[in-house]
Amino acid sequence: MLNAAIKTSLDDLNPCLLDAVAYRKEVDFKTGRVWTWFQSFLARKQIPNATNLTLSYGLCQSALLGIVVERFNQVAKPKAQKYNISFNDRGYGPKVTFTSPVWYDAKSKASKKLQSCSDEKATIVEVFVEITNKFHSPPVPLTTMELEKFAAKYFKMTPKQTMDTAEDLYTQRFISYPRTETDGFSMNTKELRSIVSKQTKHEKWGSYASDLLDSNKGLWRDPRACKHTDHSHPPIHPIKFSNRKESGWKDHQCVLYELIVRHFLACLSEDALVQKTTVEVDLAGQQFFAMTMTLYKLGYRKMYHYESLFLGFSKFPPYTAGGELTPMDLIVKGSTYSSPQNLSDEDLLSRMQQERIGTDSTWHLLINTVIGRKYVERKFDGNTWRYEPTKLGLALFNGYDQMKLPLWKPEMRAKMEKQITMIKNGTATKKDCLRDTG
């Protein structure tokens, strides 16, 4: 029976998929072998005592290096100054700052406009109040990419540390398989509630899990619909209960398990709601705005404490349309549009996903590879770990650039992925794509 099943499976193999796999292997092998040999050969001729030096090339790792170098070069660009006007209202006690949405590229232009506003009363045009869940909707179910980004952002863990820890939790059956691109559950409500029920005894989030299951509380919401699926594994979620005393886990295991549980509970919870108040005033024919947000309903934020709430410092005074204000502290403010910082773990992972470099199984390995080959290094800036190229990485990048060859550009990898898709779909042949690749 087993032999028959194997024979049937082999008979049913899709030739287009086989060709797609063969095409990927051939392109990766040929480009990697040729360019590794070529750049290693050139380097050995130029560097004394470097007869054993190997400078590896690969489409993914070189695209990753290119992303890091591009951002590194942007960091060095000069900063540009913009200017606008603001004033304070102190008539009701707490200071409220109103700001013009108009920006000026020269301070003299902003100062000239400020003079026309001096000694004028401001008229309240509109007070707009809305209850909104914007920026405060529960998260989507957890994918590998999001797990790696959250762990980097909240716990300063590298993608490899995150996946090593997640694999360990998985082999102990505390969480589901941690390599997935699926962001929606196919489980029904009964199955999801069964998973939640296993968390009701936890000292930190157990009471929230119990409230979630209580229909009288009205906290339960079905998770958001799936937008992406790998057709293999569900989103990452807890399988069984554990606490630190029972498991004997280390800190990194505890915080990652807690993140996975809290994220899962948040996916099944109601929105957090805020009251957003926007006041528009007219001062000498120019619009000024002040805005604040106050908490209306805590919702899933009661237990999902990782994100900030984007709230204002205080409620506004009782402004009404048609009323007048006496502007105080009318000033020109300069805002520095600073150049971006070097890529953080979260930034780099997002770019890799955007450029289709790697998969949920290889993102952390690719990053580790370019670091291991001394092309990129990870540095702590006092707050966040960030990536920048080494001298060797910069030299390779500049060499590719001077040869006018797009060897570092993500588009090369993206083109290959597009051709693989065409081969799988039968709209192109392996032979045609190899000819096009050159």
The set of catalytic residues is 177
Which string of b and e fits 192-217 if b means at least 16 CB within 10 Å? beebbeebbebeebeebbebbbeeee
DSSP per position, 257-275: HHHHHHHHHHHTBPPPEEE
Residue 89 and residue 95 in contact, taking contact as beta carbons nearer than 8 Å:
yes
CA distances from 256 to 40, 100, 152 (A): 41, 44, 11
CB-based contact 27:434 (threshold 8 Å): yes
What is the C-alpha to C-alpha distance for residues 270 and 117, in angstroms, rounded to an integer? 46
CB of 342 closer than 8 Å to CB of 348: no
C-alpha gyration radius of the chain? 28
Question: DSSP for 412-424?
Answer: HHHHHHHHHHHHH
Classify the C-alpha dihedral 293-297-301-302 as positive or negative.
positive
Rounded alpha-carbon distances, angstroms, from residue 153 to 146, 149, 257, 349, 364: 10, 6, 15, 11, 15
Does residue 386 contact residue 346 with C-beta atoms inside 8 Å?
Answer: no
Q: In 10 A of CB 361, how many CB atoms?
A: 12
The β-bridge relationship of strands 385-389 and 376-380 is antiparallel
Say how far residue 122 (Cα) sits from the centre of its chain: 42
- Interatomic CA distance for residues 278 and 255, integer angstroms: 38
CB-based contact 60:357 (threshold 8 Å) = yes
Q: How far apart are the first and last CA of the chain?
A: 46
Q: Distance between CA 352 and CA 145 in Å, rounded?
A: 10
In this structure, are residues 84 and 103 in contact, taking their beta carbons and an 8 Å threshold?
A: yes
